[in-house]
Amino acid sequence: MVENISTELRKTLSIETGKMAKQANGSAVVRYGDTMVFAASVCSSSAREGIDFFPLTVDYREKTSAAGKFPGGFFKREGRPTEKEILTARVIDRPIRPLFPDNFFNEIQVMTSVLSADEDNNPDVLAVVAASTALVISDIPFAGPVGAVRVGLIGDEFIVNPTYKEMEESRLELVMAGTKNAVVMVEGQADIVSEQTVLEGLDFGYEQIKKIVKIQEELAKRVGKPKMQVFSAESDNSLLEKIRKFLSDKMELAVTVKEKKARSDAMSGLHEDLMSYLREEDAEVDEAKVKSFSHDEEKRTVRNLIIKRSQRVDGRGLKDIRAISGEVSLLPRTHGSALFTRGETQSLGTVTLGSVSDEQKIESYECEQKKSFMLHYNFPSFSVGEVRPIRGPGRREIGHGILAEKALKPILPDKENFPYTVRIVSDILESNGSSSMATVCSGCLSMMDAGVSIKDPVAGIAMGLIAEGKEIRILSDILGSEDHLGDMDFKVAGTREGITAFQMDVKVEGISREIMSDSLMQAREGRIHILDCMKEILAESRKELSSLAPRIISLSINPEKIGLLIGPGGKTIRKIIEETGCGIDVEDDGRVLVSSKDSEMAAKAVQTVKDITAEVEVGKIYKGKIKNVLDFGAFAEILPGKEGLIHISQLADFRVNRVEDVVHTGDEVWVKVTEFDEKGRMNLSMKEALKELGLEMPSPPDGVSGQAVTPSNDRPRSDRDNRRDNNSKRR
């Protein structure tokens, strides 16, 4: 049996099940326009033993065949997940993860893939809906369904699920997911918009989400399977009571040790003392169970301190920001560098400036794109005092880097005025919460240090939440433990004027609008404080680019001259590059970018480009070089590849009997363009140029009178004339 149900947003969104992947616990296909996304959910039959985390795996793939394209590369087959696929997998994972039972440890895998891709609709939010549906109609315990949409802002109008083309005009990109009760995930970027605008976008998007949730509920009523039973772990009340008794006057002392490492050592010592105490009565006590109970007590203690006393583990108040320090220009050979430290979180940001040839090429369903701004985030294990193998960047590192990249992108100077490719690298040297927001700060300062004329400084802050019934406490600049033991991680970045990027994840079944509003307003206060601290480190961008960075000169040529500049097989442009050592990039609209660290060579390359692509003007005077001398005159090159004839009668103001009496091959002379004849051949006059410039005429040779002559249009033909005729015909 195949079931299909749909709802209207701006287009029809339909969900179908019962046709594909019937051996999975649940599967669904979501369609919007001509974009279709498939999802399947599978669950192991029994719990995984000996783990203290929820074993959920989410995957998302974009096959090029869905858009009728071949994959790039030698093998013509999709390889490892792209950055877009990794980020979308995170977007799916984050809203569904909090909605599984706390004591459910069966392995779950959610696989999503794009079956059909049009050139209008982004499949990522459809993948969230497909994954949710595959879970809702399955027998897997899940407190969904979840709906997801993208919200854009064009002019003053919010639109749901904007197309790729519409997003180019949007000032806001808001990707959000929610249940019928509340929002559970938010992320996005903005072109410096107010907190109120973001809230209005959330309100608009949530109304659309409720429609998507409703159709999933209707589909589940028709075809949903009975949910498998979740067995509660057996409670050992006797052991729990002993643990609570032992920890009653010790846990608070341990969790309120101010420094992270000292606090960790105190907790480890407390655990050892607890185990020794318990083993006095029972040598075979289950240490895993003790750790679980002890962790619950730590969580309860930390949350009670915040709820009842508004006291945080490091002694700060709810709105207090940790101590901030920083330094710029600490790395002598980078284009820009900054060390930003907030409490026990530290980011080292470095900037590299490059030319157009350094841009990253990205293939997508939309089109082949070029990316001229990149931020790469690294999180080595030593930053948290751990030992781990060194591998490539994980999903978390990629996600944090992209979030910081989105935060900084709106403040970059316009491409027309700053034609550089910019790469920021953030190395996290210490971490105790908010390392992605520290990356925003170090990245901003390092660009300012490099001399990038940013529009306005940007800072970021992570907000937390402790909610116990009606008691709500919002925390500014959260620690790692407050993220781990709390209910929300809400990262907000922006300037003094507004927001540029945000990301919210929760560990509860949703966050109310009131909490989001209060969090955004409190985040603004913290952001302004951090910006004030950054101003003390470096008040504004340096007036000049780093002396180590290449200089890029931009000029425009007639697009019809691009072929002439490049030359046959690239011969002409390669010659310029070899002679000057400059990088030269030519764009389709005729924009030419010359890059070099040597200003003299850059000027030479620019002049050569101008000369090759210049239009010869009748009546204009040029400095030319004699290329060939014949009986009836001399040929002079006035611009690269552009030669004209100086008839013997136009060499001087006296009768010239022999051309060699006045000019020789290799001489540099001033000439005036007098005409292009009926065959397109260029005629030059040295006599008229010298006269207009007020320069001395050549002297007649001995024995020759200075008698003036009347020019003759009659001249013998030569091989050079024939070649010029042929060139004229080709033109």
- Phi, psi torsion values for 280, nearest 5 degrees: -65, -30
Q: How confident is the model at residue 729 (pLDDT cuts 50, 70, 90)?
A: very low
The predicted structure's pLDDT at residue 639: 85
**Least confident piece of the model among 159-163, 613-617, 690-694:** 613-617
Q: Which amino acid is at 311?
A: Q
- The secondary structure of 442-505 as a DSSP string is HHHHHHHHHT---SS--EEEEEEEEEETTEEEEEES--HHHHHHSSEEEEEEE-SS-EEEEEEE
> CA-CA distance, 219 to 215, in Å (whole number)?
6
Q: Are 368 and 361 contacting, i.e. CB atoms less than 8 angstroms apart?
A: yes
CA angle 317, 323, 327 (to 5 degrees): 160
**Tokens 């390392």 sit on residue:** 435
First to last CA, the chain: 69
- Range 66-79 average pLDDT: 83
Q: Reduced to 3 states, what is the DSSP secondary structure of residue 283?
A: coil
- Rounded (5°) CA angle 142-143-149: 100
Q: How many Cα atoms occupy the beta-carbon half-sphere of 473 within 13 Å?
A: 20
CATH class (in words) of the domain with range 3-223: alpha beta
- pLDDT band for 565, please (50, 70, 90 cuts): very high
Which of 631, 583, 627, 637 has the alpha carbon at shortest distance from 605?
A: 583
The predicted pLDDT at position 708 comes to 46
8 Å CB contact between 110 and 75: no
What CATH class is the domain 551-613?
A: alpha beta
Six-digit token string for 708: 């003036």
Q: Tell me, yes or no, if the two domains 3-223 and 324-537 fold the same way.
A: yes
Q: Calculate the CA 76 to chain-centre distance.
A: 26
Query: Which tens digit of pLDDT belongs to each residue from 253-282?
Result: 999 999 999 999 999 999 999 999 999 888
Q: What are phi and psi of 588, to 5 degrees?
A: -60, -25
Q: How far apart are CA 8 and CA 229, in angstroms?
A: 35
The pLDDT confidence band at residue 731, using thresholds 50, 70 and 90, is very low
Which of the four pLDDT bands, split at 50, 70 and 90, describes residue 425?
A: very high
Q: Which candidate, 158, 152, 208, places its Cα nearest to that of 183?
A: 208
User: How do residues 597-611 score in pLDDT, each as one tens digit?
Assistant: 888 999 999 999 988
Cβ-contact 637, 624 below 8 angstroms: yes
Q: Is 633 left (phi over 0), alpha (psi -120 to 50) or beta?
A: left
Of 117, 23, 100, which is closest to residue 57 (Cα–Cα)?
Answer: 100
Q: Using alpha carbons, list the distances in angstroms from residue 573 to 580, 581, 603, 640, 660.
A: 11, 11, 15, 12, 35
Determine the pLDDT at residue 705.
55
In 343-372, beta strands by DSSP E: 345-354, 360-363, 368-371
More confident residue, 726 or 679: 679
621-730 maps to CATH 2.40.50.140: yes
Q: Which of 385, 423, 382 is nearest to 404 (CA)?
A: 423
- The structural architecture, per CATH, of the domain 237-309 is Orthogonal Bundle (1.10)
Instruction: Give yes or no for residue 233 having a pLDDT over 70.
Output: no
Buried b (16+ CB within 10 A) or exposed e, 284-321: ebeeeebeebbeebbeebbbebbbeeebbbbebeeeeb
Q: What is the DSSP letter of 723?
A: H
| Calpha distance 486→552 (Å, rounded) | 49
pLDDT of 651 above 80: yes
Tokens coding 651? 């060499």
Q: What pLDDT digit, counting tens, does each position of 655-704 carry?
A: 999 999 999 999 999 999 999 998 889 999 999 999 999 999 888 877 55
**Under CATH, what is the fold of the domain 324-537?**
Ribosomal Protein S5; domain 2 (3.30.230)
Distances (CA, A) of 323 to 345, 529, 721: 10, 11, 80
Do residues 310 and 519 make contact, with C-beta atoms less than 8 angstroms apart? no
711 pLDDT more than 60: no
Q: Give per-residue pLDDT as tens, 172-231.
A: 999 999 999 999 999 999 999 999 999 999 999 999 999 999 999 999 999 999 999 887
Q: Is residue 378 helix, strand or coil?
A: strand
8 A C-beta contact, residue 627 and residue 671: no
Q: What pLDDT is attached to residue 234? A: 62
- Residue 2, pLDDT score: 72
Q: What integer pLDDT is reported at residue 722 of this predicted model?
A: 55
Strand order in the sheet with 345-354: 324-328, 336-342, 345-354, 421-430, 373-378
Q: At residue 560, does pLDDT exceed 60? A: yes
Q: Which CA distances in Å does 47 have to 25, 50, 132, 584, 592?
A: 16, 9, 21, 61, 62
pLDDT band at 726; cut points 50, 70, 90? low
User: pLDDT digits over 288-301, tens only?
Assistant: 889 989 999 999 99
pLDDT at 709: 46
Strand partners, 59: 111
Contact 428, 378 (CB under 8 A): yes
DSSP character for 665? T
Structure tokens at 712: 């003759």
Percent of the chain with pLDDT over 90: 76
At residue 719 the predicted structure's pLDDT band, cuts being 50, 70 and 90, is: low
The domain spans of the chain are 3-223, 237-309, 324-537, 551-613, 621-730
Q: What CA–CA distance (Å, rounded) separates 667 from 275?
A: 97
Tokens found for residue 276: 């020794």
Q: What value does the mean pLDDT of the chain take?
A: 91
Which residues are CB-neighbours of 172 under 8 A, at least 6 positions away?
Answer: 151, 152, 153, 188, 189, 190, 191, 193, 197, 198, 201
How buried is residue 566: exposed, middle or buried, by Cβ count under 10 Å (0-12/13-18/19+)?
middle
What are the beta bridge partners of residue 279? Answer: none
pTM of the model: 0.85
Position 115 confidence tier, pLDDT thresholds 50, 70, 90: very high
Please work out, in degrees rounded to the nearest 5, the angle formed at the alpha carbon of residue 228 by the alpha carbons of 224 and 229: 140
* Both structure tokens of 50: 């000996």
Structure tokens at 9: 């947003």
Local structure of residue 511 (DSSP, 8 states):
B
Q: Contact, 630 vs 592, CB < 8 A?
A: no
Residue 448 has pLDDT above 50, yes or no: yes
Look up tokens 């971490």; give the residue. Answer: 431
